[in-house]
Every structure is written in structure tokens, then in C-alpha cells.
Amino acid sequence: MTTHDDQNRPMTARPSAGLRGRMQVPGDKSISHRAVMLGALAIGETTISGLLEAGDVLRTVHAMAALGARLERHRDGAWHITGCGVGGFVEPPGPIDFGNSGTGVRLAAGLVATTPVKVIFTGDESLSRRPMGRVIEPLEQFGAAIATAPGGRLPMRVTGAAHPVPVTWELPVPSAQVKSALLLAGLNAPGETTVIEPVPTRDHTEKMLRAFGAGIEEERTPEGRRITLRGHKELSPCDLTVPGDPSSAAFPLAAALICPNSEVTVKGMLLNPTRTGLIETLHEMGADITIANPRASGGEIVGDVTARTSALRGVTVPAARAPAMIDEYPILAVLAAFAEGVTRMEGLAELRVKESDRIAATAAGLAACGVEVKTGDDWMEVTGRGGEVRGGGPIATHLDHRIAMSFLVLGLAAEEPVTVDDGAVIATSFPQFAERMRALGADIEPTEEAREG
């Protein structure tokens, strides 16, 4: 469990060597959200083991309870969910607060868009700055009425369609969240709902819909990947085990690559091809990363991934790879700072509307640590320092958990300690981050000011 100190702010990482050990990272966040939501729709009891019990997913748990599902955590750590049936959600007694979870609120909007209920979605300061327009427009095609604050932002009121119609929608930009929201909406619409994605994105929703018995088909066409879902089909409950989150695993693996004399293994990490763009990029950079014991778990492939201290070189990461590693660019930029030469990352427009403007936040943090970085609307270029990064700069996290963890990793291999202004935000996805990194030998602690406070 996370200690109280780990929730204080700020938090400091100091130069560390010899990170060694095996660790388990929390369950995958994307899969956890979807498992809870589909369990809440299925007829019968779904059992989920390994669910990520962090802020974002627990918001989804509370949301599904507010909509009428029954969710219980048993002593063995497994969650048991008794669903309402497709179209069976009830109107919640008040607004549903999704905290910092963009995935949760966008997918939940899809769930209720074709159910005749009225729901108000709210969020924290960070989520309330994130635009919802790209999910609102297609959901309104089903017949939902959606109103937001100025700029298409939260709070958002969704009045679900009493008589929804099926939709065919081509994604203008790659987005697993928008695709998933549309497929979830299609569950309670008659006929066939079709989503066309010119660039494939993570396919957890499709895999999980199939596991719950939904009528879903996929085909490759000249226009892209075409996903068709047949509506008005009840879902069957499942017994699921959530694999380790590759986005969380990226941090201990990255630390092992840049800290001297290090070797770290992450057990049971998700190896879905739509999520392994970082591993592919790191191999191109010369990283010593190996995968052992690949196996099936919960309809996904998992394996044990080991990273060892490596001399990295700069590369160009093509835009086509962005959907397979969109959450890992901040930690990749940190690794690029320790590489030899220039690393250029393209196709990053999505990062402008994450928990923070991640391009701006990453660039500012690197500059504060003495690293040369250039940015554009959808690209970032980091000039590596061949392993000699000054560090030292105070880092503004902007309420973004991945910015916080990325720069704490930088501090482990820099010449000077690095302090982030908020350790509490890490609980959004990886509550045990500091504790588990310390078990490997990392020097990550709340600052004295945080302890005294």
C-alpha cells in the first residue's frame, strides 16, 4: 500500500546506481476501465483479478455503481460485478465525478449516450481543461443531447437517446477513446454501428467486447480498419485477469537503462502489439531489453520484460508509431536526454490535450535540467547528452502523473537531484511507484518540506 509520505508533495529523486530486482506493476489502466464498464453491463456476475486500484479506475468503479451496477471487492483482492444489462443503467442521484480520468469520462459518455438517462459528468481542474468535442460530435449522431461548458469542456450533461440510431463514423485522428466510446454506445443501438480507423489504435475494447460475447467483427479495407458491432445483444459475464500496464512498466524499465549497473525485470507485462511501440523504439536506440515467458492471460499476451544498463543513441520515431506509445513519450524524452545524438518524435498532437500539455510540460522539465529540446505543434526533438544530464531543475507536474514519474526517473540518473512539485498525482495510475522503485534500490523520497508539512 502507498504510505502517507508517498502522497505528500513535493518528491525528490537522487542519483542512484545498481537498480536490481523483479517487480510487478499495477494492472493495465485501459483494460481495467473497460473490464469494469462491460462487467457493469453484463447479465450476471463478472470477476476481475488484478484490477488497477488507482484513482482513475476507482472513479470508474464509483461511476458504474451510481448507474446501478453492484461492485464489491473481496478479501482476495478480486472484484465482483453484477451488471444491469445492456440499456439497463439507471439515472444517477447526482453528478458523476471522474477526477483526472479522461478515459473514464469519454467511455462513460458512450455508455449512457444510447440509454434514456440524464447524467452530468464532472472532473478535477486538469480534466476540466481537456476538450470533449471529438467524442461529443459522433455521440450526438446516435441521438444523444450533450451540453458542455464553453470550449466543449466539463461539466458535461449527457441526455441519452430514447430511440438511438446506429452510426458509421470514420475517425479523423487516431483515438482509442473515441473509437471505444462509439462501440460502447453501439451496444444499445439497433442494427450495426461501424467505426473506421485509418490508423490502428489500441484494440482492448474490441478484444474485451468479444470476451463478453458482443457481436463484433473487424476487417481490413482500403480505407483502414473497419470495426462493426451489432447492437441489442446482451453481454455474458466473464472471469478476467488484468495484465501489467506497459505504460507503468515503462518507468522502472527506463530507470534500469540509464542508471549504472542495473538490471530490472517487470513480470507479467501486457505485450499487445498496439501497446509495444516504446519497446520497438528502445530496441532501435540500442537498449538491452529482452522478453521471456510470453503467455496468454485474459485474452491478451503478457511476458516478463528485462532491461539492463545501456548506451542509447538518438533515433527518429515516426508518426505512425504514436498510437502504440502515446502515453510513453514523456519517459522516452527523458531517455533521449541520456542518449547520444538527436531523438525526434513525430505525430504528437494528441499530447497537447492529455492530463497536461505533455509536449510543453516535458520540454520545460528537460530545459530546467539542462537538456536542449525543440518543439512544434506535433513534434519534439531532444538533443541527447550522451549520459551526462545535469538534472537539478524543479519540475512542474501540472497535475500529470506521467510527467511526475518521468522526471523522478531522470533524477535517478542525473548529476543532481530532481524534485517534482507534486507526488500525490502519481496515485492516478501507480500508487505504489515510489515504494516499488525503492525496493529496486532507487532513492526516491518526499522532500523534507513535505514530511514536515
Residues with catalytic roles: 327
Helix 277-284 with 246-258: angle, nearest 10 deg: 20
Distance of CA 404 to the CA centre of its chain: 14
Q: How far apart are CA 270 and CA 150, in angstroms?
A: 38
Residue found by looking up cell 481490413 in the block: 220
* CA dihedral sign of residues 442, 448, 450, 451: positive
CA distances from 314 to 64, 281, 380 (A): 44, 10, 13
Helix 176-186 with 204-211: angle, nearest 10 deg: 30
Show the DSSP H helices in 260-415 as ranges. 277-284, 329-338, 358-368, 401-413
Nearby residues of 448 by Cβ (< 8 Å), 6 or more positions away: none
Give backbone dihedrals phi and psi of 227, rounded to 5 degrees, phi first. Answer: -115, 125
Residues in the chain: 453
Q: How far apart are CA 271 and CA 181, in angstroms?
A: 23
Give backbone dihedrals phi and psi of 329, rounded to 5 degrees, phi first. Answer: -65, -35
- Grid coordinates belonging to 5: 509520505
Residue 316 CB coordination number (10 Å): 12
Q: How far apart are CA 380 and CA 372, in angstroms?
A: 11
Give backbone dihedrals phi and psi of 394, rounded to 5 degrees, phi first. Answer: -70, 135
**Closest-CA residue to 83 (of 275, 212, 241, 246):** 212
DSSP line for 261-272: T-EEEEEEEE--
- Grid coordinates belonging to 176: 482509442
DSSP line for 143-160: T-EEEEETTTEEEEEEE-
The number of C-alpha atoms within 13 Å of 276 and in the hemisphere containing its C-beta is 17
CB 169 within 8 A of CB 137: no
> Three-state DSSP class for 434?
helix
